[in-house]
Amino acid sequence: MKSKVTTADEAVSKIYDGAVIMVGGFMSCGTPEVLIDALVRKNARNLTVICNDAGIPGRGVGKLLSNNQIKTIIASHVGLNPEVAQRMNTATEDKLECILVPQGTLAERIRAGGAGLGGFLTPTGVGTIIAEGKQVIVVDEKEYLLERPLRAEFALIRGSVTDTFGNTVYYGTTRNFNPLIATAADHVIVGTCKIVEAGEIDPNSIITSGIFVDAVVGGEKAWQI
C-alpha cells in the first residue's frame, strides 16, 4: 500500500489562484495550522474558502485573511475576527465577499455535497433574508427552502492520529466539521498530530476513511489557548 505522507509545502502545491477550498475547524479548534501556514507561504490568491468561521487573528483561516488570500468566504460565524468586517466594508479592490449560512444548514450542505445529493429542504431561514433568491417548496402545508450542496476542489482537515494510507481519528471537539469536509472535496489533505503505519489504528476507531484522503502531513500540534 503506497504511503500518502508528504510535506506540507508539497501537499498544498496543487492549490491554485481562484481555487475553492474547505477548511475544517470550529473557532480554529480542529483547523490544520501546518497546512494553513504552508498555504500562506504558497500565497495562492483569490480563494473561495468554505468553513465554519473566519478563525481568529493569527490563527486558522485568519492567517489567510490577513495575507489577503481570500476573495470569498462562505461561513456561519465570523464575529471573532474583526478583519472580516473591515474587509467587507472597504471600498478597495481588497473587498471581501462574505456569504453567511446558518450553521446547521452549512453542515448539511457540505454533507449533501459529499453524499452526491442535489440538495435538501429546511425550514431554517424561511421568511428571512436567507430565503432571498432561493426556491421555496411546500410540503404538507409547511414552507421549506431548497438548499444546494457545497463541494470544493480542495479540503484541508486536521487529524489527531492518521495512518500512512490516510485513515484518520479525531480527538474531542477537533472532530467538528472535518469528517464532513473530507467527503466533499476533490483533493483532501490531512494535517495530523501523529502518523502511524497502515493497520495500526483499530478499524472501529477510524472516523475518516483513507479512501477520501490524498495526502497526509505530520507536524500538527495539539490545540492550545
At residue 223, the pLDDT reads: 67
What is the CB neighbour count within 10 angstroms for residue 218? 17
Domain ranges of the chain: 8-117+149-217
Q: Which residue has the higher pLDDT, 47 or 222?
A: 47
Q: For position 175, what pLDDT does the model report? A: 93
Q: State the pLDDT at residue 93.
A: 77
**For the segment 13-70, what is each residue's pLDDT rounded down to a tens digit?**
999 999 999 999 999 899 999 999 999 999 999 999 999 999 889 999 999 999 999 9
pLDDT of residue 87: 86
Closest listed residue to residue 47, CA positions, set 11, 96, 7: 96
What pLDDT is attached to residue 94? 79
Query: Per residue in 59-109, pLDDT tens?
Result: 999 999 999 999 999 999 998 888 888 888 876 777 899 999 999 999 999
Collapsed DSSP state (helix, strand, coil) of residue 130: helix
**221, pLDDT greater than 60:** yes
Rounded to two decimals, the pTM is 0.94
Torsion on CA atoms 18, 20, 24, 29, rounded to nearest 10:
30
Name the strand (E) or helix (H) holding 8: helix 8-11
Give every CB contact of residue 132 below 8 A, 6+ residues apart in sequence.
none
Hunting for cell 508528504 — which residue is that? 6
The secondary element (H helix, E strand) that includes residue 102 is none
Q: Give CA–CA dist 45/178, Å, rounded.
A: 23
Answer yes or no: CATH 3.40.1080.10 is held by domain 8-117+149-217: yes
